[in-house]
Amino acid sequence: MHPHIKETEAFRSIPVTGKEQHNLILQMLSWSTLIFTTQKYMIQTFHLISGHIIAGQNDQALRRSVSDVSVEMDRISKDFNRMVQINEVERAVCECCGMSEDYTPAYVSSIKDFYCGKWVCGLCSEAVKEHQNRNPKVPMNEALDSHMAFCKKYNRTTRLNPKLSLAEAMRDIAKRSSQHKNSKNFPLTKIARSTSCDPRIDFQIPPQRE
């Protein structure tokens, strides 16, 4: 079996995700475009050189034609490199909630510039913006730190042990409800000034309920 066929079959046997397949297709299309364009300009260069030779033009005109083609091919190469960079993605992990997803390096850099050097996912960025809308005087770094603290607390409690977090919430609700009932059933003792001239204080105890 031909070595190239073996390599192709080995490549096909490698499991790839849908995202990787998408990036692979884009890169293959980019390479195909570059190869096609390069071949086209090589053919044009050949025709130019042939035309100059047939026409008997001087060496200076021939060099100028080759230089024009070289400049055009250099431009195509730069466009291709820029296209490859656009297609490249990297795994970015949100520094608030910990969610990770693939993004282009340029997009990650722009988000970090806006959020004080930290990568923040879309959901967390909306939460930070909402916090700033409620408190316009709060700067970006304080709003971001507040949301990060909330996410860390959530990850330590609710995400790790949802049942325990629910039990604590129910306990707090029951405690507040009990305190509210006790305040109604047992009103505080009232203190009143006596009507006499003596500086004496009388305690008025409310009548007991039967």
Least Cα distance to 107 among 95, 116, 96, 119 occurs for 119
User: In the chain, what percentage of residues exceed pLDDT 90?
Assistant: 2
Output the pLDDT for position 4: 38
What number of residues does the chain have?
Answer: 210
Q: Is the pLDDT of residue 200 over 70?
A: no
62-74: average pLDDT: 67
Output the pLDDT for position 83: 60
Instruction: Fill in the DSSP letter of residue 138.
Output: S
pTM: 0.40
Q: DSSP secondary structure string, 73-115?
A: HHHHHHHHHHHHHHH--EEEE-TTT--EEEE-HHHHHHHHHHT
Q: How many whole angstroms separate alpha carbon 156 and alpha carbon 49?
A: 72
Instruction: Locate 148 and state its tokens.
Output: 């990060």
Q: What is the mean pLDDT of the chain?
A: 67
> Which comes out higher in pLDDT, residue 71 or 165?
71
SS3 of the chain: helix, strand, coil, percent, to 5: 65, 10, 25
